[in-house]
Structure 1
């Protein structure tokens, strides 16, 4: 399990994403991953999860994040969807209907498909919860970042 015990905000500029990658950590869990225009003024640039994110962005090796604890403070039904997103392997992608089925929802129900799309759009930790691997769903990452993540994994 990845050690994320140092509470705080960690950020670094990614030349690949042309954006800052910022990680919020508390109580041993990642609270958020975001892509602001500028890092929080109190952000530090050295944290194990941030290091792994940058290894992933360098594309040298396939990096998985299933050992990183993410604090999912979302409704239970959305949590179930996001937990299934974490199970999508590096380099694979699925569609919203398949994700609904994986989460135990009805892929023919408009209400359930809306729930899946809402969970993806409100994902607190893009990359760690790789919503960019759901090809016809929204991502919580900005569109330009999402496209670069898809390109990195050749999706």
Structure 2
């Protein structure tokens, strides 16, 4: 299947107890969500969705750094989310450490800490941008999904 095909793709995850749904346009992932029921026009066959399910099976450490994401967020939030993508599978950092790791941010500046928390909360592609690896920050995934993802990675 051509990864550039635009559309909505969804498949039910028994591990998460809900669907994993993603939107793709121009070969880039626009959004990952976890609805109780998928969009009516969602298809269930896409290579990236297949990789997400391999990750959820926990058979091996699946990474997503090669997946192209259409980050339609402000530039300062983009920098935070790009830094989150660099946190390795099974590792976790705190919000202050993430601010320290992100270029031009200062963990002692309250505005920068708020920026980090906002970027995590508004992350359009949880799992692909693993905000669940930030232990004391919000996640864009629903809390039960976030906890399952943390558990999967032993966090």
1:142 corresponds to: 142
Structure 1 SS opposite 2:23: strand
Partner-residue secondary structure (3-state), 1:126: coil
After TM superposition, the score normalised by the length of structure 1 is: 0.97
Partner of 1:66: 65
Gaps of 5+ in 1: none
* Structure 1 residue 18 corresponds to structure 2 residue 17: yes
Number of residue pairs matched? 153
* Cα distance in 2 between the residues matched to 1:36 and 1:109: 36
* CA offsets 1:9-45 (integer angstroms, 9 cap, x no match): 0000000000100010001100000001100000000
CA distance in 2, matches of 1:103, 1:94: 12
**What is the Cα-based RMSD across aligned positions, in Å?**
0.7
- Runs of 4+ displaced beyond 4 Å: none
Q: Deviations over 1:26-72 (max 9, x none)?
A: 01100000001100000000000000000000000100000000000
User: Structure 2: which 5+ residue stretches go unaligned?
Assistant: none
C-alpha displacement at 1:4, in angstroms? 2.6
What is the SS of the residue equivalent to 1:108? coil
Give the structure-2-normalised TM-score: 0.97
Structure 2 SS opposite 1:81: helix
Distance 1:90 1:5 in 2: 26
